[in-house]
Amino acid sequence: MTREQSELLLEQIRARYDYQTITDILVNLGYEFSRNKKFRIRPEEKTASASVGRGGLIHDFGANGYDILKLLTTHHAMNFPSALRFVADQMNISYPEDGYQESEYEQQQKRQQIETLKLERIAKREQQEREDYELLMKKQAEARKTIEWYDSYAYELQTFHNPDYQKEALAIAPMWVFQQATPNALKHFKYLSTFDPKNKTIVAKIFDYNHQLISYKRRRYLIPGTEEPSKWVTKSQTSPNKQCYIRVDQTSHNPVWIIEGHHDYLTAALLHADEYSSFNFIMIPTENYREFNDYEKGFLVDREVNFIMDVKKEDVKKSTIPMMALVSSLPKEEYENAVLIDLFDFLQKNGIDTNHINKLDLSDAIENWTDSLTAFKGSLEYYADTLRAEQELF
């Protein structure tokens, strides 16, 4: 195809981008969608995190996003002309055979079509962006109202005198952790969470970097039409996974721990006592959060950075992949001094049998710990310092 033919075909394809069309193509390519309309782009991912927007673009927390053509060239070893033809065939768009010679009139008509399609695409995208933003603001406002309602009953519900709350809280951390946590840590735990009395579950609040509540995740939630409750179900259409949660005391130079997921961030809140006994942490919302932005990097300057990975015994090396991408986004000084915490090795070096354990994250490690919170934090920091001294870095 000539340049004009390829450009026209590209614009014709883009004009047909919508949720259903792109989803059908992905299904034909062999991708499987979960109940919440997510799919895995990379086979090593434990959780499906990619999704198709209503405008037909592919949102992926492991990268900057795709359209269907970029996905084909990036993950299916197609060159761009082959990807164009493949998608055109899927959309039933005809195109000229190679070698077909067009008249000057046909070429002029194509150029006019290209410009018209471009303008229509820009107008459609701008309209969708306005509608998406309005929907996002509406859904975030709904989330705030729900949390405010839950919090209005906090005195009666967020107490261990409520057996439903106690059961859910003890699914986050063992009783001894709550007993040893400082009043300040317990207060912050309740600030970060609330209780849903209808579904009888802990709810993790999600804030943006201006400390505005934008969403929430229920620890257990029975999705209509299912039999088993799903874990950490998010308030729909609120974009909660675009930022980390940061709890770093900037008055001290204690190390910062990088953890993953909302269960671990509630557990970590119970470890963070005060500036004298801090557990500074940054929680990445999903394993596919692959790059720190400049704001997040500002909390890591001139500090030791320790990455606590979610590790599976069957393949410890594979478990490092999500954190490795984050490490590579650090400034050189922090990158060269960062360490990766293998919790299996950490527990074993502290005399704890791990033969019965298949996977570990921060919460799991505390669940299997046999000493105090102070001893846990001290031992974990000592372990990281040992790795650093032995140059067992990335």
Residues 305/334, Cβ–Cβ less than 8 Å: yes
Residues 76/70, Cβ–Cβ less than 8 Å: no
Give the three-class secondary structure for 94.
coil
77 lies in the same domain as 207:
no
Please state, in angstroms and rounded to a whole number, the distance separating the CA atoms of residues 256 and 281: 5
CA of residue 147 relative to chain centroid, distance: 22
pLDDT tens, position by position, 167-209: 999 999 999 999 999 999 999 999 999 999 999 999 999 999 9
pLDDT tens, position by position, 352-381: 999 999 999 999 999 999 899 999 999 999
pLDDT of the residue at 277: 76
| Angle between helix 80-90 and 68-75 (nearest 10) | 130
Residue 222 lies in a domain: yes
283 lies in the same domain as 366:
yes
pLDDT of the residue at 62: 55
Please state, in angstroms and rounded to a whole number, the distance separating the CA atoms of residues 90 and 168: 48
169 lies in the same domain as 258:
yes
Residue 134 lies in a domain: no
CB atoms within 10 A of CB 210: 6
Percent of the chain residues past pLDDT 70, beyond the cut: 95
Hey, which residues does 196 pair with through a beta bridge? 201
Give the CA distances from residue 175 to residues 99, 171, 329, in Å, rounded to whole numbers and listed in that order.
Answer: 75, 10, 37
pLDDT of the residue at 63: 58
319 lies in the same domain as 172:
yes
For residue 1, pLDDT beyond 80: no
| CATH number of residue 30's parent domain | 3.90.580.10
Residue 132 lies in a domain: no
Please state, in angstroms and rounded to a whole number, the distance separating the CA atoms of residues 115 and 46: 43
208 lies in the same domain as 356:
yes
Confidence category of residue 64, pLDDT binned at 50, 70, 90: low
Please state, in angstroms and rounded to a whole number, the distance separating the CA atoms of residues 346 and 60: 33
Give the three-class secondary structure for 49.
coil
pLDDT tens, position by position, 237-284: 898 888 899 999 887 788 999 999 999 999 999 998 766 678 999 999
Residue 176 lies in a domain: yes
Confidence category of residue 226, pLDDT binned at 50, 70, 90: low
Residues 338/306, Cβ–Cβ less than 8 Å: yes
Least confident range of 68-82, 136-150, 218-232: 218-232
Strand ranges inside 208-292, DSSP E = 213-221, 230-234, 245-247, 256-260, 280-284
Closest residue by Cα to residue 286 from 209, 237, 234, 363:
234
Q: What is the mean pLDDT of residues 3-23?
A: 90
Looking at 70, 102, 134, which one is the last position of a domain?
A: 102
194 lies in the same domain as 274:
yes
Residue 139 lies in a domain: no
196: Cβ contacts below 8 Å, ≥ 6 apart: 150, 202, 203, 218
Residues 9/93, Cβ–Cβ less than 8 Å: yes
Task: Report phi then psi at 61, rounded to 5.
Answer: -75, -10
For residue 61, pLDDT beyond 70: no
Residue 169 lies in a domain: yes
Residue 111 lies in a domain: no
206 lies in the same domain as 340:
yes
Confidence category of residue 20, pLDDT binned at 50, 70, 90: very high
177: Cβ contacts below 8 Å, ≥ 6 apart: 267, 270, 366, 373
50 lies in the same domain as 185:
no
94 lies in the same domain as 176:
no
For residue 392, pLDDT beyond 70: no
Domain count for the chain: 2
198 lies in the same domain as 67:
no
> What is the extent of the structural domain holding 91?
3-102
Looking at 60, 87, 102, which one is the last position of a domain?
A: 102
Mean pLDDT over the full length of the chain:
88
pLDDT of the residue at 66: 82
77 lies in the same domain as 195:
no
371 lies in the same domain as 239:
yes
Task: Report phi then psi at 340, rounded to 5.
Answer: -110, 125
Give the three-class secondary structure for 57.
coil
Residue 364 lies in a domain: yes
Contacts 24+ apart (CB under 8 A), 164-171: 164/195, 164/197, 164/200, 165/195, 165/202, 167/200, 168/195, 168/200, 168/201, 168/202, 168/219, 168/220, 169/202, 171/202, 171/219
DSSP string, 97-150: PTTPPPPHHHHHHHHHHHHHHHHHHHHHHHHHHHHHHHHHHHHHHHHHHHHHHH
For residue 99, pLDDT beyond 70: no
Residues 282/244, Cβ–Cβ less than 8 Å: yes
pLDDT tens, position by position, 319-365: 787 788 888 888 777 777 889 999 999 999 999 999 999 999 999 99
